Homo-oligomer: A and B are copies of this chain.
Amino acid sequence: MSEKIRVTIWNEFRHEKHMPEVQKLYPDGMHATIGSYLAKDADIAVTLAALDDPEQGLPDEVLNNTDVLVWWGHCAHHEVRDDIVAKIQKRVYLGRMGLVVLHSGHHSKVFRQVVGTTGNLSWGREQKEIVWSVNPAHPIAAGIPDHFCLESEELYAEPFAVQPDELIFTAWFEDGYIMRNGMVFNRGAGKIFYFQPGHESCPSYHNEYVERIINNGVRYVKPADFGMDIPDGAPCVHPHKVIDEFNN
C-alpha cells in the first residue's frame, strides 16, 4: 500500500445530471461531494470515477492503484460490466482493496457478489431517520455520538438479507421501521463496509457525522499490513514439512 490511502469513489452519476433537485444538492455529483470531504485529510488521495467514463471509470491502471473503492449505484446496476465486478471481487478477496458500499449499492452487482447476498431489503417514502450507534468502541464509530438525526432520508427497512460480522449502527424511522444500517463484512482477506444513508434527493452527504462515518469506514477497510502472501490459488505445499523447520 502507498503512504497515502488511495480512495476511488465510483458513482453511477446520472441522477445528478437529469434531476434538478439532485443537481442542486450535488452539482458535481455525490462522489465529488464525498471526495471533497475525504480529501481534506492529508493522508487520503481521492480519484473520482463514473459509470459513463471510459472503461466505466475503472480501467486496470485505476483499479490496480486503488486501496479503497467507494461505491454508489442505483438505477444502472445492470449496466456495470461483469468483468469489472469480477476484478473488484478478486482484489477484495485477496486483501488488496477494501470496499465501502453506500445506500442503494445494497442491490449492486458488486455488493451482491462480493458479500454473497441478494441484497434484498424493504424501502419506502422519505422520512425522518435517527442513526443509533450500537458498538461505540468500534473504529467506525469514532467521534460519533450515541445518535444523530437525518431530517429526511429514504426508508430502508428490515428484513435486510444479511448477517454482518460487525454491527455498528442501526436506524430508527418515523413510520415505525428499523434497519441495521452500518455494518462490516469479512470476505477472504478483505473487508466491506456498508452504510445506508445517501438517497440522491436527500442532503445526507453534507451531514458531518455521515462524512465522518465514511471517512472512518475508508480507514477501517483499507488493506491490512500482511505478513504473508495471500495466495491467488490453492498452492501445494508438498514436500515441505513445517516440522522440519525446527532444525533450521
Residues of A at the B interface (CB closer than 8 Å) are 90, 93-95, 107, 113-125, 128, 130, 132-139, 141-147, 149, 151, 155, 157-163, 165, 167, 170-178, 180, 186-191, 223-228, 230-246
Cβ-defined contact, A227 with B136, below 8 A = yes
Cα distance A147–B151 in the bound complex, in angstroms = 25
Number of copies: 4
Bound complex: CA of A144 vs CA of B228, how far in Å? 7
A93 nearest CB neighbor, chain B only:
B118
Q: Which residue of B lies closest to A162 (CB)?
A: B188
Which of B180, B230, B238, B239 contacts A159, CB < 8 Å?
Answer: B230
Could you tell me if A135 and B163 are in contact, using CB atoms closer than 8 angstroms?
A: yes
Q: Which of these, B117, B122, B165, contacts A93 with CB under 8 Å?
A: B117
Does A189 contact B161, Cβ atoms closer than 8 Å? yes
| Given A176-B242, A243-B175: A138 in contact with B93 (beta carbons within 8 A) | no
B116, A116: Cβ atoms closer than 8 Å = yes
Determine which of B94, B120, B144, B176 lies in contact with A118 in the assembled complex, contact meaning CB atoms within 8 Å.
Answer: B94
Task: A137-B224, A155-B237, A176-B244 given; name 5 further pairs at CB < 8 Å.
Answer: A122-B235, A134-B158, A146-B159, A146-B227, A175-B243
Chain B, residue nearest A156 (CB): B234
Residues in chain B near residue A147, CB distance under 8 A: 158, 176, 242
Residue of B nearest to A243 (CB): B176
The distance from the CB of A151 to the nearest CB of chain B, in whole angstroms, is 6
Contact A225 B122, CB 8 Å, known A137-B186, A242-B147: no
Give Cα distance in the complex from A215 to B106, angstroms: 34
A180 to B146, CA, bound (A): 14
Give A94 to B226 CA distance when docked, in angstroms. 31
Q: Chain B residues near A125 (CB, 8 Å)? A: 238-239
Question: Contact at A128–B187, with CB atoms within 8 Å?
Answer: no
- In Å, the complex CA distance between A120 and B232 comes to 7
Q: Which residues of B contact A226 (CB under 8 A)?
A: 136-137, 141-142
Q: Are A188's CB and B117's CB within 8 A?
A: yes
7 contacts between A and B (CB under 8 A): A119-B234, A124-B236, A137-B223, A146-B159, A159-B189, A159-B230, A167-B180
